[in-house]
Chains A and B, each alone.
Chain A
């Protein structure tokens, strides 16, 4: 763990507390996948306090009623695969077609 990641931990707890205590009281709202709070947790854990906070603020700024929303993952660390690709590996193959590695993230 880098220093930035350790420093981000308190903020991660705050977001987790929101997810556990406040979010259940409101209907599902986020127009993105992953939701803004899930994005915040990943961004803070992966990129640390400064970049994580910055990415989270930018995402919150994007999540307004005039956006189409859609799939929007936290940028991967250099040399790591994109989250969207990792998740797309679990798309079940359709019977009539070969099970190719389809990447949904390519559409975003």
Chain B
């Protein structure tokens, strides 16, 4: 198992090493001291930017999907209405199942899929291993990882930000600067994740989604999360925490952009967005379709078919 992990992670370690080394070369050329923590810290931030920028196409795809979400809103609301007041886990499961079946039927999906997390996690481990290995490589006990030779590793290992070495961990250090920098980074990481989640919950969730047990569980998790960060953070090198924090900042900004420009239907953010559009005299997206649908429903009601059409298969539609 260990060998398997090594052979899978090796190419990723190499890629991480090359990206970091490349950024380090650039910053050195720009005049930063090659042995400084600033040059190496910025290289880690550069690694985050490369990785997240590579995933922007996925992000754009998700944004475009939100337009289609707007169109299936009436059907979603029908499902939500059907389950109104039903909070037992079985009903919630049935509701999720119906909602997901609807997404599939309509060919749209608000979720980004599990692939991005799966792709990112080896890079996280790769960086962890590169940073963790710096002292061993510098001491010649472990072989070089691509461009991170014994000399480079020794230099990076000695690099400090605010007096803390990038390869230091809270548990492995006896240096007050490392303790302080770790704690500050853990607080910043918790804060960014917390704000990201809170922004999502308070601004970008329809009111109907907020009173279900899952949202309550999510809330609880939101408060437990800093503890998780603290426990794992004291085991990680400062460089990994820096990477993690930068990723969080990126996610936060990206989400801020989405919520501002493509808010979820029925959410507080959507209301604010429509108000902003109205103030500028721009058309509200989906409004024309909604009005047309309302007019059609009124027409049908007037024609004496008070029965609203439920989302269902043709077979069921026939029996009545």
Q: Number of residues in B with C-beta < 8 Å to the partner?
A: 47
Contacts of A108 in B (CB 8 A): 101, 104
Q: Are A33 and B96 in contact, with the CB atoms below 8 A? A: yes
Contacts of A88 in B (CB 8 A): 94, 97
| B233 CB to nearest chain A CB (Å) | 12
Chief secondary structure at chain A's binding surface: loop
**A24-B221, A24-B228 in contact; A69/B104 too (CB < 8 A)?**
yes
Q: Are A29 and B103 in contact, with the CB atoms below 8 A? A: no
The yes or no answer to B200 lying at the interface (CB within 8 A) is: yes
Q: Are A104 and B101 in contact, with the CB atoms below 8 A? A: yes
**A71-B100, A92-B82 in contact; A87/B113 too (CB < 8 A)?**
no
Q: Are B114 and A30 in contact, with the CB atoms below 8 A? A: yes
Q: B90: which of A25, A36, A70, A90 is its contact (CB, 8 Å)?
A: A90
Q: Are B109 and A69 in contact, with the CB atoms below 8 A? A: yes
Q: Number of residues in A with C-beta < 8 Å to the partner?
A: 37
Q: A21 to B196, alpha carbons, bound, how many Å? A: 17
| B103 CB to nearest chain A CB (Å) | 6
Q: Please, what's the 1-or-0 string for A11-50, where 1 marks a CB less than 8 Å from any CB in chain B? A: 0000000000100111111111101100000000000000
The yes or no answer to B77 lying at the interface (CB within 8 A) is: no
The yes or no answer to B117 lying at the interface (CB within 8 A) is: yes
Contacts of A104 in B (CB 8 A): 97-98, 101
The yes or no answer to B91 lying at the interface (CB within 8 A) is: yes
Q: Please, what's the 1-or-0 string for B107-124, where 1 marks a CB less than 8 Å from any CB in chain A? A: 111011111111000000
Q: A57 to B86, alpha carbons, bound, how many Å? A: 34
Which residues 58-75 in A have Cβ within 8 Å of B in the complex?
Answer: 60, 63-65, 67-71
Contacts of A71 in B (CB 8 A): 97, 100-101, 104
Q: A69: which of B90, B91, B94, B103 is its contact (CB, 8 Å)?
A: B103
The yes or no answer to B202 lying at the interface (CB within 8 A) is: no
The yes or no answer to B174 lying at the interface (CB within 8 A) is: no
Contacts of A27 in B (CB 8 A): 196-197, 200, 255
Q: Mind listing 14 A-B residue pairs with CB under 8 Å?
A: A24-B221, A24-B228, A27-B196, A31-B111, A36-B114, A68-B108, A69-B104, A69-B109, A69-B113, A71-B97, A71-B101, A71-B104, A89-B94, A92-B86
- Chain A residues at the B interface, C-beta cutoff of 8 Å: 21, 24-33, 35-36, 60, 63-65, 67-71, 84, 87-92, 94, 96-97, 100, 102, 104, 107-108
